[in-house]
Amino acid sequence: MIRIENLKVKFKTESGWFEAVKGVSFDLKKGEVMGIVGESGSGKSVTSLSIMRLHDPAISLFSGHIFYKDIDLLALPEEKMPDYRGNQISMIFQEPMTSLNPVLTCGSQVAEAIKRHRSGTEVKNVKEAVLELFNEVQLPSPEHIYNSYPHEISGGQKQRVMIAMALSCNPDVLIADEPTTALDVTVQNTILKLLLRIKEERHMSLIFISHDLGVIGEIADRVIVMYRGEIVEEAEVQEIFNNPRHPYTRGLLACRPSPERRLYKLPVVADFLSEDEQGNIQAGQTLTQVLETLQIDEAKTAIRKNIIYSHKPILRVENLNTWFPVSQGLFRPVKEYKKAVNDVSFEVFPGETLGLVGESGCGKTTLGRSILRLIEPTGGNIFFKGTNLRDLSSDKMRAFRREIQIIFQDPYSSLNPRLTIGQSIMEPMQVHAVFSDDKQRKKRVLELLERVNLRTEHFNRYPHEFSGGQRQRISIARALALQPEFIICDESVSALDVSVQAQVLNLLRELQEEFKLSYIFISHDLAVVKHISDRMMVMNKGRIEEIGDAEDVYHNPQSDYTRKLINAIPKGIAVKS
């Protein structure tokens, strides 16, 4: 269906031409699911966008060949590409919120694609065709979704709308670019099954792009591993998992948290490969060698937990409620409330990491923000070191926020794009009068940058100049600037590559030991929560389903909901050491 021969893609930058894809070649067979895996910047999305010819010709250069059947797409004039783009080859883009137009309803956007590519004789009633697609991708209440705007539906529903749009013209080849990144594991599992079902029913070929080999193992027949614009390994999916030949592949397989292994620190790609002065890749340790050095010491863990739970709780939440009024219309009394947090009680001990896990909409983020009173609770009490935060005035609460900080889910939107990262980290110190002058504050910022594995010369750069993982490190440095005792990590690794995620999780654990921090670690990924947490709390529809030791909750769940979350974790294929 698709044959790529020696594809090279260059982009024009301020310093010259940058080669993003360096001589990539592969075939996609009819009915096959081809997985393309690699970190951000490896060339995965650039390769897929090249198949669609979606790069800006003013700043990009192509060479090589991309054949759809026997037609070289790179040799076609641009006016001929719409005959293939959308009709024969379609794409599900990575981020549905930015791919969907916020001022148009979901139905009208899918209808637009049908009108653009399918003739009126073929589709007499466009709305009926859209509703059929919404039914096919299993959207609840298709008529309601048709008239809804993107911000009015959930992340999983937006992704289904994008799938419906991609399917609207009956393509032969579907490219899915990170379609499940940052989705709940349960929603992700549903989307993977949906794509496989539609692929079989429509006899399509599928290119599935991801940074997570666990997800690739659930869906792909064959896998291509990309690293810095090149293919470093290609094999059947079982071969990739059971006998990975390239050290980079071994690193990707190892760095995702495994619920079956107990490690105090996650492996990272650098454990498996290095580069010499000429840039040639040198193989590092084997998986067995790496895991031997990272095994958790059960005796030390038991001693640590005994120390933690011998102290009084640093945070105690009692019967906390955060309810939002459901509007019945203008000037009508409120009769109904959305109970985002509903009678929640728990404790966090000094030096402990309490993991908070659940699907989107279960109330995790609302609970975290309610503790900080960034959202005012409806009822209940929040005791921090014996002081009820609900009794504090706004001024006194601001002072307490020096001791309780939050790392937000999206570091890009939580950093001011007009401030350098040095100014962003220094700002809370100025607000809380930490140190007497900016010279001392700058010295502290430079120390923090180095501590989170960034460089001092980054001080004067802006957020857009950094990768997602680097921006998350900046957010961590900002949270540490006030020397807090307690940090709420709100989905702080959910959208990161698995390799970068491992680095950030290791950093959070190191910082906890160094600065004696207590964490509430919020995530929808139970495997990540189990790795980093001492105790785990499972939340569903505003209530606590169960709470207990992380190992006990995973291996002996008491709730059907917890079992559902565990079963949805991508298992891939068993990896041999």
DSSP 405-465: EEE-S-HHHHS-TTS-HHHHHHHHHHHTT-SSSHHHHHHHHHHHHHHTT--GGGGG--GGG
Tokens 């809380």 belong to which residue?
Answer: 432
User: Which pair of structure tokens corresponds to residue 566?
Assistant: 């565990």
Query: Computed from CA positions of residues 285, 256, 18, 207, in that sequence, does the dihedral angle turn out positive or negative?
Result: positive
Of residues 502, 531, 509, the one with CA closest to residue 260: 531
Evaluate whether 181 touches 534 at the Cβ level (below 8 Å). Answer: no
Distance CA 110, CA 126 (A): 9
pLDDT at position 119: 60
Distance CA 7, CA 43 (A): 11
Tokens 């709390």 belong to which residue?
Answer: 537
The mean pLDDT values, 10 residues at a time, for the chain of 577 residues are 95 87 94 92 90 90 93 92 89 81 93 78 75 89 91 83 89 90 79 90 92 88 94 94 90 86 88 76 79 86 92 96 80 80 96 93 92 95 96 90 89 88 94 90 94 91 85 92 94 83 92 94 91 95 95 93 88 50
Evaluate whether 205 touches 378 at the Cβ level (below 8 Å). Answer: no
223 class by beta-carbon count within 10 Å (0-12 exposed, 13-18 middle, 19+ buried): buried
Evaluate whether 237 touches 215 at the Cβ level (below 8 Å). Answer: no
Query: Computed from CA positions of residues 499, 505, 509, 510, in that sequence, does the dihedral angle turn out positive or negative?
Result: positive
Tokens 């891939």 belong to which residue?
Answer: 572
CA distance between the termini of the chain:
36
Evaluate whether 9 touches 46 at the Cβ level (below 8 Å). Answer: yes
Helix (H, G, I), strand (E, B) or coil at 102: coil
User: Which pair of structure tokens corresponds to residue 98?
Assistant: 């930015």
pLDDT at position 576: 44
User: What is the DSSP secondary structure assignment for residue 349, as one 8-state letter?
Assistant: -
Residue 216 has phi, psi (to 5 degrees) of: -55, -40
Distance CA 248, CA 240 (A): 11
Of residues 57, 76, 80, the one with CA closest to residue 66: 76
- What tens digit of pLDDT does each residue of 434-463 get? 888 899 999 999 999 999 989 999 999 998
Tokens 């900016």 belong to which residue?
Answer: 438
pLDDT at position 475: 92
pLDDT at position 37: 93
Distance CA 531, CA 225 (A): 26
CB atoms within 10 A of CB 362: 23
Residues in the chain: 577
Tokens 């609207």 belong to which residue?
Answer: 168
Distance CA 211, CA 255 (A): 11
pLDDT at position 57: 87
